[in-house]
């Protein structure tokens, strides 16, 4: 995925709307799906149905790591997000990168959000068993620890009930298919809706 769709979304922000940015990797970008099938678009449809006037920016880049997401922060913050849905780190784990490096990058993103007055929903991640118990435990435990420290809303595992489930993932066995993504969107919405409602609705 290129950054061209994101550039278009960042252009000429509407001051009458609040803005939510989904910052993530291929799951956020909607790998193997149309952009309308990606979970940020499905969540946007739920917002509209609920009468919430929010601008949605899908800042997902396939293959991105936490370092990549951190490097894109200045660009992403051109959208002046009121809320950040942070779903990054899986590629760090799959590549076996140090958990300490992931923590530094996540902290930098969370610090930027806190200093900018941006609310955050943090999504956790898990790794397959072949990565070793110690590494998996350190990786998995990082997300709830940071969510607690920074006092942000937390979704423990965005692929709960979907990961490696027959009929819910694509042929690669990793990325959710359209039905799996609908389930992801439902899980995201449960955690996200209360955070949206904490921001005063923008006028239509």
> Which residue numbers are catalytic?
26, 172, 175
Print burial letters for 97-133: b (CB count within 10 Å at least 16), e (below 16). Answer: bebeebbebbebbbebbeeeebbbbbbbbbbeeeeee
Task: Provide the 3-class DSSP secondary structure of residue 24.
Answer: strand
Segments in the chain forming alpha helices (H): 4-10, 26-29, 39-49, 66-71, 73-76, 90-94, 99-116, 133-150, 178-197
The DSSP string of 147-173 is HHHHT-EEES-TTTTTTT-TTTB-TTS
Which two three-digit tokens encode residue 50?
């609920």
Distance CA 92, CA 169 (A): 21
Of the candidates 91, 100, 101, 17, which has an alpha carbon nearest to the alpha carbon of residue 61? 91
């Amino acid at each position: 995925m290129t950054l061209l769709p994101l550039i278009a979304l960042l252009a000429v922000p509407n001051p009458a709307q609040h803005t939510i940015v989904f910052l993530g990797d291929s799951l956020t970008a909607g790998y193997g799906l149309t952009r309308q099938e990606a979970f940020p678009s499905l969540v946007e449809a739920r917002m509209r149905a609920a009468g919430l006037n929010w601008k949605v920016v899908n800042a997902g880049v396939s293959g991105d790591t936490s370092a990549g997401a951190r490097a894109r922060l200045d660009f992403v913050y051109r959208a002046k997000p009121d809320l950040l849905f942070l779903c990054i780190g899986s590629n760090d784990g799959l590549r076996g990168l140090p958990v300490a490096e992931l923590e530094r990058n996540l902290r930098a993103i969370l610090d930027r959000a806190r200093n900018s007055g941006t609310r955050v929903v943090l999504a956790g991640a898990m790794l397959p068993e072949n990565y070793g118990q110690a590494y998996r435990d350190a990786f998995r435990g990082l997300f709830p620890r940071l969510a607690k420290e920074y006092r942000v809303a937390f979704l423990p595992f965005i692929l709960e009930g979907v990961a490696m489930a027959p009929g819910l993932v694509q042929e690669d066995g990793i990325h959710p298919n359209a039905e799996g993504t609908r389930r992801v969107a439902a899980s995201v919405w449960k955690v996200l809706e209360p955070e949206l409602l904490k921001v005063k609705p923008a006028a239509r």
